[in-house]
């Protein structure tokens, strides 16, 4: 029983470790492992996206050159009008609030393989993050240059963009509560202060005064 438990533990650790290695936290930054697929099933490593911080202020990408087999697979996918798939893991290990629970998923982007071969392996990869270590979305774009199903380059010419939403202005809750408390105190003070007869009954005295003024004016008019 003890040996079986050890074997089960090692299998679980191996599966979990394989998944979590897709995003690596390092002292000098964070690394997102980028994977791609030419047939939509088997994914292999394409390169690494290195983030200096979780704000996405500085990001670089390093990629391995395509092998002859991979170039052939890409050209075949282009001729058959199949999709080229790109993916990253959704969390930065050790940073995301959900990383300790083992949750997460693959964030995948698609484009036609023909678009990538037509651009001669020139593409733009955009990674949207929430600033807390979670990848929200992934996008790949290309610029069409030719359409003769020939790839002259062995390496990707990639522009990497990492975007984080700007923080919205924070309302001054403390100032608002302070203002409300001040107005409340002023009303309480005014309610406790003694009022004069005029202050209490002005709403009744004003109409009476207007009536007297009008009566005096009518009496002073000369009779015709």
> Would you write out the chain's pLDDT as a tens digit for each of its 224 residues?
444 444 333 333 333 333 333 455 555 678 889 999 998 888 999 999 988 887 766 888 999 899 999 999 999 999 999 999 999 988 765 454 444 445 678 999 999 999 999 898 999 999 998 888 789 999 999 877 776 767 888 899 999 998 888 766 667 677 777 788 888 888 877 766 666 666 667 777 778 778 788 887 777 766 54
Residue 67 and residue 59 in contact, taking contact as beta carbons nearer than 8 Å? no
Contacts of 121 (CB under 8 A, 6+ apart): 66, 151, 153, 155, 156, 157
Whole-model pTM: value is 0.60
Backbone angles phi, psi at 129, to 5 degrees: -125, 160
Tokens 């996206």 -> residue? 49
**Tell me, what's the pLDDT at 95?**
54
Residue 180 and residue 97 in contact, taking contact as beta carbons nearer than 8 Å? no
Q: What CA–CA distance (Å, rounded) separates 138 from 181?
A: 48
Under DSSP, the state recorded for 170 is P
Q: Which residues pair with 51 in a beta bridge?
A: 30, 59
Q: What CA–CA distance (Å, rounded) separates 224 from 208?
A: 28
**Tell me, what's the pLDDT at 20?**
37
**Tell me, what's the pLDDT at 101?**
45
Q: What CA–CA distance (Å, rounded) separates 220 from 224?
A: 12
**Tell me, what's the pLDDT at 36?**
94
């Amino acid at each position: 029983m003890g040996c079986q438990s050890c074997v089960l533990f090692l299998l679980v650790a191996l599966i979990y470790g394989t998944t979590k290695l897709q995003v690596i936290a390092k002292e000098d930054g964070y690394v997102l492992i980028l994977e791609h697929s030419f047939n939509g099933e088997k994914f292999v490593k394409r390169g690494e996206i290195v983030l200096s911080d979780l704000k996405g202020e500085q990001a670089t990408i390093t990629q391995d050159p395509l092998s002859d087999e991979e170039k052939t697979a890409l050209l075949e996918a282009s001729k058959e009008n199949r999709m080229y798939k790109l993916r990253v893991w959704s969390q930065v290990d050790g940073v995301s609030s959900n990383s300790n629970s083992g949750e997460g998923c693959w964030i995948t982007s698609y484009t036609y393989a023909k678009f990538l071969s037509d651009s001669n392996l020139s593409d733009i990869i955009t990674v949207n993050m929430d600033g807390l270590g979670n990848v929200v979305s992934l996008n790949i774009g290309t610029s069409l240059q030719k359409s003769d199903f020939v790839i002259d380059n062995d390496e990707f010419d990639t522009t990497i963009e990492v975007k984080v939403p700007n923080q919205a202005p924070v309302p001054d809750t403390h100032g608002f509560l302070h203002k409300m408390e001040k107005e409340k105190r002023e009303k309480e003070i005014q309610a406790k202060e003694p009022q004069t007869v005029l202050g209490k009954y002005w709403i009744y005295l004003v109409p009476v005064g207007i009536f007297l003024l009008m009566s005096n004016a009518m009496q002073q008019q000369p009779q015709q």
